[in-house]
Chain A
Amino acid sequence: MRRALAALSWVAGAVALAVLPTTVGPYYTNVFVTFAIFSVFSVSLNLLLGYTGLFSFGHAMFFGAGGYGTALALKHVSGLALLPAVGAGVLASLVLALVLAPIVVRVSGTAFAMLHLAFSQVLYVLALKLRAITGGEDGIGNFPIPPLNIPGVASIPMKDSPQNFYYFAIVLLALSLWLMWFFTKTPFGQVQLAIRENARRTDYLGFKVPQSKAVIYLVSAAFAGVSGSLYGLFHNLVSDDGAFGALVSFAPIINIMIGGIGSFMGPVLGTALFLVIEEVTSRFTERVELVIGLIFVLGIMFAPLGVLGTARKLRQKWRADREARASVRRTA
């Protein structure tokens, strides 16, 4: 029964996604694409944070690497197709992760967080100063966006069609989510959890901790790169602040906290909620900072486990209460 229900909800979800553009119009379609991009970005960070216990303060660097990689590839390689362009972005992220992995896998905790902030800042300054390559403050804009070419089937233009881009992005992002979820379900995923709980014991158990961390790191970076690449394509602009800025590193952390750190879909929910908050706030008040600030402060103080975490806690409490009452009745 439950399996049937679950399958049905998946189908319903897929149908909803398929008809979204036609039902909600171009503006909300674009909002949804933003949501999807940042969901994948946040989930990729959660692979490090929630699953492995590695707190990165600078995940923006992989996001940005993806964006710049794709933009530069499209700008300089004429006739480059769409998927290879995204691939270029992912490659850039992976290369960056490979360079950093030897340094970062040997640290954890605060040092890990700070190191990432530091390196993210290095990239920010480099992107700013190497103006000839990266366009500095202005970034790289108006690079050609090729159509999606399915050989022998169709050539789907992406540039001026929010609808087509939506489908392309959703497919890619859904695939990314699924791959990441699958990753956490593999035995390797279990190692992640083990490292989070007690890295030393995991090491004693014979698992190679630094190498495992490196693999997780690469996976996380790759998918951050996917989201960054799509973000650049979506805006047809990759700018330093939008790619490597400190806020770009903080956003997924906020999403994870709002949604709930202990689950896979938590960050997705958090991203959705935060986007809704942003949309609603900007329509009703100018004091945007005040509202956002209050939400952060009150949220972390009274619902620190995020929405899903608090929900789970409440459910457990309710279940425990029910058990207690049942047992009282039994013994009575």
Chain B
Amino acid sequence: MDQTTAMYVAQGLHGLAYGMVLFLIAAGLNVIFGMMGVLNLAHASFFMLSAYLGFQFVSITGNFWLALLLAPPATAICGVLMERFLLTKVHAFGHMGELILTLGVAQIILAAVKGIWGTESLPLKMPPILEGRVTFAGLDYPIYRLFIIGLALAILAIMTLLLYKTRLGKIVRAAVSDAGMVNALGINIPLVFMMVFGIGIWMAGVAGVAIAPILTVFPGLADQVGMDAFIVVVTGGFGSLLGAFVVSIIFGLLSSYGVQFFSQFASVLIVGFMAIVLAIRPNGLFGARDA
């Protein structure tokens, strides 16, 4: 293809890649919010924590794949600990309680990260196998970004399978709809909640390690992505994984084509899109209709 077409296709791929990363972070947040009604302001902080843990694993073992495998579950464990010992105590006070608690945890994670790893930016090199670019049809594209797209799609596939093809998935979907009823049916709802929370954090953790070679690992990492993830969740609709996916892709494409055609006003496109969606459907694109 000619240069201009190649550029537009490349921008599309960039949008996809960025959207997929956003999806990984937002999906966890979405399910947690949708099912447990929990506002987790510390979600992006766990994303950042996982990037740091990934760095640590790479420093110790020198192996990126190990880090990708181990850091997210380690982060998920931290998340579950927070859920079990802290969040459950404040459920009674609704959203405000969760907001303050998770805000506090976010601050603590920031302090911990600075205390353990310091304030400077840490290097995380990508595995040599994923370095470099592929050339196809006149297009030159970094392999690592293709890897990210693939990884996110794989996780999406696993999640969908889990949700729709397993008994656990059925329970989770039912719990999103009516947790009280499911509890009445004898299912151990707190356990289910804990698992879902863990999986949500795990997904954010994968995003953290995956994106670390592209971004700088420093204490401001959480702030960089936090608001974007929230906007995706809000626009997509709580509890809707499909909503999170669709909106993530749209956001990714809007940001890359926005830069292409509207330069610095790309971010206006994104928030504008969000505003319009919310004005028409306040519960999000795929959110349940408010009673």
Interface residues, chain A, with chain B CB atoms under 8 Å away: 49, 55, 57, 103-104, 106-111, 113-115, 117-119, 121-122, 125-126, 128-129, 246, 250, 253-254, 256-257, 261, 287, 289-290, 292-297, 299-301, 304
Can you name 19 A-B pairs with beta carbons within 8 Å?
A107-B282, A110-B238, A118-B274, A122-B271, A129-B264, A246-B227, A253-B100, A287-B115, A289-B110, A292-B107, A293-B105, A293-B107, A295-B104, A296-B104, A296-B107, A297-B104, A299-B104, A300-B104, A301-B90
Query: Using an 8 Å CB-CB cutoff, how does the interface string of B99-123 with A read, 1 for contact, 0 for none?
Result: 1110111111111101100000000
Q: How far is the CB of A110 from chain B (nearest CB, A)?
A: 7
Interface size on B, residues (CB 8 A): 48
Contact flag A122-B86 (CB < 8 Å), given A289-B110, A289-B111? no
Which 8 residue pairs are nearest across A and B when measured between Cβ atoms? A296-B104, A293-B107, A290-B111, A293-B108, A297-B104, A289-B111, A289-B107, A293-B104
Indicate whether B265 reaches chain A with its CB closer than 8 angstroms: yes
Indicate whether B230 reaches chain A with its CB closer than 8 angstroms: yes
Q: Are B230 and A117 in contact (CB under 8 A)?
A: yes
Given contacts A118-B274, A122-B272, A290-B112, 20 further A-B contacts (CB under 8 A): A104-B282, A107-B290, A110-B37, A111-B287, A118-B234, A118-B278, A121-B274, A122-B275, A125-B270, A129-B267, A253-B99, A257-B96, A287-B111, A290-B107, A293-B110, A294-B104, A297-B101, A300-B101, A301-B101, A304-B92
Indicate whether B283 reaches chain A with its CB closer than 8 angstroms: yes
Q: Which residues of B contact A122 (CB under 8 A)?
A: 271-272, 274-275
Contact flag A113-B95 (CB < 8 Å), given A289-B107, A294-B108? yes
Q: Are B278 and A115 in contact (CB under 8 A)?
A: yes
Q: Are A103 and B90 in contact (CB under 8 A)?
A: no
Q: For the complex, what is the distance from the CA of A322 to the CA of B111, rounded to whole Å?
A: 45
Interface centre among B100, B101, B115, B290, by most A CB within 10 Å? B100
Indicate whether B97 reaches chain A with its CB closer than 8 angstroms: yes
The A interface is mostly helix, strand or loop, or mixed, namely helix
In B219-243, the 8 Å CB interface with A consists of 227, 230-231, 234-235, 238
Q: How far is the CB of A178 from chain B (nearest CB, A)?
A: 26
CB nearest to B106 among chain A residues: A293
Q: Are A301 and B274 in contact (CB under 8 A)?
A: no
Q: Which residues of A contact B284 (CB under 8 A)?
A: 114
Q: Which residues of B contact A290 (CB under 8 A)?
A: 107-108, 111-112, 115
Q: Are A103 and B108 in contact (CB under 8 A)?
A: no
Q: Which residues of A contact B271 (CB under 8 A)?
A: 118, 121-122, 125-126
Q: Are B282 and A103 in contact (CB under 8 A)?
A: yes
Q: For the complex, what is the distance from the CA of A295 to the CA of B103, rounded to whole Å?
A: 11
Q: For the complex, what is the distance from the CA of A263 to the CA of B264, rounded to whole Å?
A: 45
Q: Are A296 and B282 in contact (CB under 8 A)?
A: no
CB nearest to A305 among chain B residues: B93
Q: For the complex, what is the distance from the CA of A294 to the CA of B112, rounded to whole Å?
A: 12
Q: For the complex, what is the distance from the CA of A295 to the CA of B37, rounded to whole Å?
A: 24
Q: Are A103 and B279 in contact (CB under 8 A)?
A: yes
Q: Which residues of B contact A128 (CB under 8 A)?
A: 267
Q: Are A296 and B100 in contact (CB under 8 A)?
A: yes
Q: For the complex, what is the distance from the CA of A289 to the CA of B111, rounded to whole Å?
A: 6
Indicate whether B168 reaches chain A with its CB closer than 8 angstroms: no
Q: How far is the CB of B38 from chain A (nearest CB, A)?
A: 11
